[in-house]
Amino acid sequence: MLQVLVNSLALGSAYALLALGFVLILNAVNAVNFAQGDLVMAGGFVAVAFGMLLPVPGIVLLPLVLVVMALIGRALAAVAYFPLKSRPPVSVFISTIAVGIILQNLANALFGAEPRAAPPLFAGGLVELGGIVVSRQALAIIAVAAVMIAAQYVLFQRTALGRRLRATAQDREMAEALGIRVNHVIAATFAIAAAYAGAAGLLLANTFFVTPTDGGNYILKAYIAVVIGGWGSVPGAVVGALLIALFEVMLPSLPLIVPGLAGLPGASWLFSQTIATILLYLMLLVVLVVRPQGLFGEAVQRRA
Amino acid sequence: MTALLDIADLVVGHGPVTALHGVSLRVNSGEIVALVGANGAGKSTLLRALMGLVPVTSGEIMFDGTPLTGPAWSRARRGLGYCPEGRRVFPGLTVEENLNVAAAPGASLDTVYKLFPPLANRRDAPGWQLSGGEQQMLAVGRALMARPKLLLLDEPSLGLSPLLTDELLARLRAIASDGVAVLLAEQNAAAALEVADRAYVLHLGHTVDDGSAADPGLRQRVREGILSAKGLTSG
C-alpha cells in the first residue's frame, strides 16, 4: 500500500514540475505552451545523452540538464513567442505545437524511436524503510521535485526577480511603465519553465524510459493538472499533478491493496491503466462542469 | 527656469485612442502642472504617449535636455514616474512588494510610508484587498519608488470621495517640495487648480488655454468651458 503511494507520489511530483512550468508561462504571457510536454521528452534525451558521455548518477547530470533546457526555453521564446506576441494567443498555441513537432523529429533523428533510459538519480534498486520496500529512484524523485518546487516558491515569493516575474504576469504594460524590462522577464520565465520540464524528463526517463513521441501524453497531463488545480494557479498545478498520478497509479493497484476486489467479476478489466485513463478524463469533464475554476480557482487577481 | 519636459506640436492619432492634434506644453523642475479638460480631451493619451505606451505620429518631446524616445521601461528609468488611470496596482503583490518592484537604487520605503501613513499599516495586504483610496496612495507611492524627476498622474481623483481627493492632492505639494515635478491630468479641474502652479486646458486634442493656476481669469474660463462642454450653459 505504502509502496504504491510512494510510486504515485514520485510520478505526481515529476508531473508537478511539468505542470508548474506550464502555469508559469500561462501566467506570464497568457498563452498555452503546447511544447511543454515535448520539453519533458527533450529533457529526458538530454539526460540520456549526458549519461552516455559521463558515467555519473542522474543527480550530477541534473544541473547540466537544467542549463541546457533553460537555453532551449529561451530559444522557444525567441522563435515561438516574441515574433507573435502582438497576435492573438492562439498563434502561440500553434507555434509551440510546431516547436514540439520539431523537437520530436530532432529526437527521433538523433536517438531513434527505441525507448531509452536515463541514469537513476542516485542508484537503482530497492531500499527497506521501516518495514516497507520502496524503490530508491522513487524516493529520490520525490526529494528532488520537492526541493525544486520549494525553490520555485522561494524564487517567486522572496526575490526581486520573482516580484518582477509576478508583476509582469499580472499587468505587463504597467510593469514596463515602472522600468521593468518585461521581455527579459518573459524570456526568463520560458527558461525556468523549460528547465522544470527538463528536470521532469530526467526524473521520469529512468523508470518510465523516454521515446520521441512522449510529449503528447505529458502535455495532456499538464493540461489536466492545471484545469483540475485551477487555471493559472501555481499551487493548484502541483496539487492537480499529484491527484492525477495518485489516480493513475492507485486505481490499477486497488485489487492489491483491497484483496477482496480482485475476486469481483471484471476486476482485471476495471482496475487497469486503460480504465484509469478513461476515468481521469471523465473526472476532468466533471471538474469543468461542476467547478470550472478548479480546486484552487480564486479571483483572477490571486493567480500569481 | 529650465524646462524639465518640453513638448512641441505633439500629434498622436492611431486606432481607438483619443487623438492629439499638435499639443505644446512645458513642465519646469519642481513644478506642479495641471492638465485639465473633459473626458475625451486627450489627457490620458498625452500621458501614455509620454510613457511610450502609444505611438507618436509627429512632434517633439524633450525630457531633461534630450529627446524622449525608446520603450516604456527606458523612459521610466530616465526619470518618468507613471501613475495610471485606474491605479493598476499589482493585485497579487502585497503593498510592500508593489513598492519594491518599482524601486530604483536608493529608493526608500520609509519615504513613501511617511508620505502615506495608511500604507504602512497595510504593508502585507495584497493589492486586491485595498480600498480605492489606499490603491491610489499605493499607485502614487509606487511611481515615487522609481525616484522620478517627473511624476505623471492620471485622474487620481477618480472614484475617491472629495475629502480623500483633497488629502491626496495636498500630498503633491510635499512631493514637489522634494524636487519632483508633477504633471497632473484631472477632470476635477477645481481640485487640480487648487494644488497646481500652472495649468493647461485640453479640449478635443488641442491645448486651448494655459496660465497660472491662481489666475482668476483662467479659473473662470475653465469653469465656463467645462459647463459649456457639459451643455449646461444654454439655459
Tell me the C-alpha distance between B147 and B181, whole Å.
11
Distances A260 to A126, A252, A263, B110 between C-alpha atoms, Å: 28, 14, 6, 67
Using CB atoms and an 8 Å cut-off, which of residues 96-125 of chain B contact chain A?
97-98, 100-102, 104
Q: What is the 3-state secondary structure (H, E, C) of A54-79?
A: CCCCHHHHHHHHHHHHHHHHHHHHHH
* A30 within domain boundaries: yes
Interface test with B, best of A164, A174, A182 (most B CBs within 10 A): A174
State pTM to two decimals: 0.88
Query: Cβ contact (<8 Å) for A167 and B93?
Result: yes
Say which residue the cell 498555441 belongs to: A93
* Residue B120 identity (one-letter amino acid): A
State CA B135 to chain mean position distance: 15
The interface predicted TM-score of the complex, written ipTM, equals 0.91
Whether A57 is covered by a domain: the verdict is yes
Instruction: Report whether pLDDT(A283) > 70.
Output: yes
* A124 occurs within a structural domain: yes
3-class secondary-structure state, position A134: strand
Looking up cell 481607438, which residue turns up? Answer: B16
**pLDDT given at position B90:** 97
Q: Which residues of A are less than 8 Å from B91 in CB distance? A: 170, 301-302
Query: What does the alpha-carbon distance between residue A190 and residue A79 come to, in Å, rounded to a whole number?
Result: 12
Mean pLDDT of chain A: 90
Choose the weakest-confidence range: A12-21, B86-95, B159-168, B178-187. B159-168
Residue B230 has what pLDDT?
59
Question: Nearest residue on chain A to B144, judged by CA atoms?
Answer: A178
Asked if the structure places residue A298 within a domain, the reply is no
Which residue range(s) make up the domain with A38?
A: 2-214
- How many structural domains is chain A composed of? 1
| Lowest mean pLDDT across A74-78, A270-274, B23-27, B46-50 | A270-274
Q: Decide if A9 is inside a domain.
A: yes
CB < 8 Å from A in window 53-82 of B: 53, 71-73, 76-77, 82
In a domain, A13, yes or no: yes
Asked if B17 is an interface residue toward chain A (Cβ–Cβ < 8 A), one would say: no
How far apart CA A169 and CA A164 sit, in angstroms, is 8
Name chain A contacts of B51, Cβ cutoff 8 Å. 177
Position A89 scores a pLDDT of: 82
Of A159, A174, A168, A220, nearest to A190 by C-alpha is: A168
User: Quick one: pLDDT at residue A4?
Assistant: 83
Q: d(Cα B154, Cα B183) in Å, to the nearest integer?
A: 8
pLDDT of residue A131 exceeding 80, the answer is: no
Is A116 part of any domain?
A: yes
Q: What are residue A128's DSSP bridge partners?
A: A133
pLDDT tens per residue across span B78-130: 999 999 999 999 999 999 999 999 999 999 999 999 999 999 999 999 999 99
Residues of A within 8 A of B93 (CB-CB) are: 163, 166-167, 170, 304
Indicate yes or no: CB of A175 within 8 angstroms of CB of B101.
yes
A279 at B interface, C-beta within 8 A: no
Backbone phi, psi, residue B153, to 5°: -115, 120
Order of strands, sheet of B58-63, starting from the edge strand that comes earlier in the sequence: B20-28, B3-12, B58-63, B66-67
Q: Is residue A121 part of a domain?
A: yes
Q: Which of B77, B91, B143 sits opposite A170 (nearest CB)?
A: B91
> How many angstroms separate the CA of residue B223 from the nearest CA in chain A?
33
Q: Are B130 and B59 in contact (CB under 8 A)?
A: no
Contact (CB<8Å) B72/A176: yes
pLDDT in tens, B35-44: 998 888 899 9
Give CA B95 to chain center in angstroms: 21
Q: What percent of chain A has pLDDT over 70?
A: 98
Whether A177 contacts chain B with CB within 8 A:
yes
Mind telling me how many Å the CA of A167 is from chain B's nearest CA?
Answer: 6
